Structure 1
């Protein structure tokens, strides 16, 4: 079952980070981005935050679970959704602890691929 975009919008609204927090649909589910970093996933209408030491310092207890089969465990954050301020702090701390994505280089044409004219 894929996630509902209304639930994803609710999560973003609860975090109170405005336009700094965005989401993108990926394989029927959603990734949440803050400062160009994937900080969380929404799968089956559940929020999964990437585990970091900085984020762990803000939480009392965490439930670890994979967001989808074969994924590394993330923190399942059902209880944090009702506390928008705490959710926002958690996502900001998580983004700050993650490395920036590597810049994308120029596209290289594959051998045998048709050329654009």
Structure 2
């Protein structure tokens, strides 16, 4: 079951991060980014937050399961969707824990 756009819009609204949070379609699901860093995935209308040592205390009580077959288990933050303050804190902590995005190589042009 693919994630509905309305679910992703709800997550971004609940996060309280305004324009800092964006999303992109990925393999029929969505990746969520804060300040250009991928911090979570929306798969099957559930919110899977990237795990990091620095966020262990914030995700300790969350269930874990893989977002898609063959993936490692991620913390599932669905219960935080109705607790905007905790969701906001978790997404910001995850953002701080993630590495800076790699710079994209310039596109090559071909000569004819």
Consecutive unaligned residues in structure 1, runs of 5 or more: 110-114
Deviations 1:6-62 (A, max 9, x none): 010001100100010111111110000011111000000000000112222224512
* Alpha-carbon RMSD: 1.6
Residue 30 of structure 1 pairs with residue 30 of structure 2: yes
Deviates more, 1:2-11 or 1:50-59: 50-59
Q: State the TM-score, normalized to the length of structure 2.
A: 0.92
1:89 matched residue in structure 2: 89
SS of the counterpart of 1:54? Answer: helix
Q: State the TM-score, normalized to the length of structure 1.
A: 0.88
Consecutive unaligned residues in structure 2, runs of 5 or more: none
Larger C-alpha radius of gyration, 1 or 2?
1
Which segments of structure 1 move beyond 6 Å, counting only runs of 4 or more?
none
